[in-house]
Structure 1
Amino acid sequence: MNGLSFSELCCLFCCPPCPSRIAAKLAFLPPEPTYDFHADGTGRYTLSLTDRAEWQYSERDKENVEGFFTRTNRGNRIACLFVRCSSTARFTLLFSHGNAVDLGQMSSFYLGLGSRINCNIFSYDYSGYGVSAGKPSEKNLYADIDAAWLALRTRYGISPENIILYGQSIGTVPTVDLASRYEVGAVILHSPLMSGMRVAFPNTKRTWFFDAFPSIDKVPKVTSPVLVIHGTEDEVIDFSHGLNIFEKCPRAVEPLWVEGAGHNDVELHNVYLERLKKFVNVELVN
């Protein structure tokens, strides 16, 4: 049976896990919120950060960060953040962050990344994360990114060819889903997973009907250029996931395999920024 162990077979046929349970086990660990939005009376919100957000810039730099709420087609009000990093940016990253962080914790990273690769960054918190309402679930993930995509297109008037979808870890799940339905400027998949079952049971060779996050089956439908990034020593999502996702991408560019990097330290390696700069400012422009 495709190399499945006895315990896996027992799990599959005696008590097959439902997608939401796989999702809960693998994915959703929302932290205590590290930020809040305060209405300024004009329909906009100012960003208020707790100490745990570890903001690394000046108070004045916060003026480049605009927060607001939008609503998903599943009825949840989710928080969005637009970080103006560059006045000359051609591209805006629609960034779907990883697990166990929220927009407050990511805000400094966004400002630093965007200014270094000359992109603005738009991000959102999943249902149940930060000050977004609702509960995390696979269906909500897809609804969340759809609402973020619509807000980015309508509120800021940014066209698809100038949007780069960036997903990190669990954020690659909604990123791949959206990219399989819309053509965009490019897609970046940072530590992607093939599917929930393949993370939980590494010997899984096929997609079961109850599997969660089946990105491996959606990636072949992605028509945009795709850059895959993965650490070779990833202890959470094995390096093999990045390799297999890369092989299934019709328009994959040269990937970035970060030697010795784990799941949470890829960004600390110099090759990370170098590869992103080349991709955004050279390969996509030419």
Structure 2
Amino acid sequence: MNGLSFSEICYLFCCPPLPSRIAAKLAFLPPEPTYYFDEEPDGTQSLHLTERAEWQYTHRELEGIEVFRTRTRRGNNIACMYVKNTENPQYTILFTHGNAVDLGQMASFFVGLGSRINCNVFSFDYSGYGISSGRPTEKNVYADVEAAWSELKKRYNVAPNKIILYGQSIGTVAAIDLATRFEVAGVILHSPLMSGMRVAFPDTQRTWCFDPFPSIDKISRVTSTVLVIHGTEDEVIDFSHGLQIYERAPHTVDPLWVEGAGHNDVELYGQYLDRLRKFISQEVGSS
């Protein structure tokens, strides 16, 4: 998603330049699935991970993860995962993950993150990722996150004022879109992008009609409290994207600009967890 060659530009802008095609070519790289679901005698689903998932915890913690499928308004069946880290969570994180990973690869991270910030974590795989049906498109992503949001509220009885949206990389477009339609306790945008065209062509100054993921135009409609996190040396989504999103969001708290961090290592810096804990304990719901 950095610079594109002339031949890649020609391939990208097939005629006509449909937003869904541009989005798929710019953003979506679903990996080979790293998990599968088995149906138990009682009708529930159980999670099974492959070696590629790199699970870091005990079998008991793995058995504590609840999984199921739900149908989106666009007709796809998406895989969902509920990681119960505590009986008395401060909040539940609705996590929209980044590109080139699936729920199997993220499961260990959800356990580690949730246990450290005293939150349960709910996530899902986009259409075409993991064992979710369909294919990844911009419209499907928005339908996917809406279906996950509905399941979290109905199945687990979590009120919107107890939900924090956490979007990472391409997942920020789903989080922002959902946050324009529903108010939540807070929104965390980790390495957000302004739009697809602005990632592929950094000199882009406006949002074209065929520009996928126009988060820069949506963020001004988010009424919840927003925390923006970005590495200053991000090689995939330039730091300027996080800065512009932060400046456009109406209700922000102090951002976390991680000096020297790239796109995939922000979580390794000590200030990452400290900033999340402060946001959760002191700042959510302050808009």
Question: Is the Cα contact below 8 Å between 1:11 and 1:17 reproduced in 2?
Answer: no
Output one character per residue of 1:24-79: Cα deviation in whole Å (capped at 9) or x when no partner.
22210000000011111323211100000000001011122000000000000000
Does 1:127 pair with 2:122? no
Equivalent position of 2:187 in the other structure: 187
Q: Distance in 1 between matches of 2:282 and 2:219?
A: 24
Alpha-carbon distance in structure 1 between the residues aligned to 2:244 and 2:97: 21
- Whether the 8 Å contact between 1:32 and 1:130 is mirrored in structure 2 is yes
2:39 is aligned to 39
With the length of structure 1 as denominator, give the TM-score of the two structures: 0.94
Structure 1, unaligned runs of 5 or more: 1-6
SS in 2 for 1:80: strand
SS at match of 2:52: helix
Q: Is the 8 A contact 2:122 2:152 kept in 1?
A: yes
Name the counterpart of 1:92.
Answer: 92
In structure 2, distance between residues paired with 1:148 and 1:14 = 32
Q: Secondary structure at the match of 2:95?
A: strand
Q: How does 1:263-282 map onto structure 2 within 5 Å?
A: 263-282=263-282
Residues 15-30 of structure 1 correspond to what in structure 2 (within 5 A)? 17-30=17-30
AA aligned opposite 2:112: G
The aligned counterpart of 2:173 is: 173
Query: Residues 102-121 of structure 1 correspond to what in structure 2 (within 5 A)?
Result: 102-121=102-121
Q: Distance in 2 between matches of 1:26 and 1:271?
A: 31
Distance 2:140 2:77 in 1: 11
Number of the residue aligned with 2:228: 228
The answer for the alignment partner of 2:66 in structure 1 is: 66
Determine if contact 1:70/1:147 at 8 Å carries over to the other structure: yes
Taking the aligned partners of 1:15 and 1:65, their CA distance within structure 2 comes to: 45
SS of the residue 2:170 aligns to: helix
Structure 2 gaps of 5+ residues are 1-6
Q: Quote the Cα distance in structure 2 between the aligned partners of 1:85 and 1:278.
A: 19
Match of 2:3 in 1: none
Q: Distance in 2 between matches of 1:248 and 1:117?
A: 27
Deviations 1:70-99 (A, max 9, x none): 000000000000000112202000000000
Q: 1:10 and 1:105, CA in 2 relative to 1: closer, same or farther beyond 3 A?
A: closer
Paired residue for 2:53? 53
**Counterpart amino acid of residue 83 in structure 2:** V
- Partner SS, residue 254 of structure 1: coil
1:285–1:116 CA distance, 2 compared to 1 (3 A): farther
Check 1:13–1:62 CA distance in 2 against 1; reply closer, same or farther (3 A cut). Answer: closer
Answer yes or no: is the 8 Å Cα contact 1:17–1:210 preserved in 2.
Answer: yes
Percent same amino acid among aligned pairs? 68
Q: Which residue of 1 aligns with 2:214?
A: 214
Aligned-partner SS, 1:178: helix
- Alpha-carbon distance change, 209 to 115 in structure 1, aligned in 2, over 3 angstroms: same
Q: CA deviation at 1:10?
A: 9.7
TM-score (norm 2): 0.93
Kept in 2: contact 1:237–1:263 (CA 8 A): yes
Note closer, same or farther for the CA distance 1:24–1:12 as it changes in structure 2 (3 Å cut). closer
Amino acid at match of 1:123: S
Q: Distance in 2 between matches of 1:124 and 1:238?
A: 26
Distance 2:242 2:121 in 1: 24
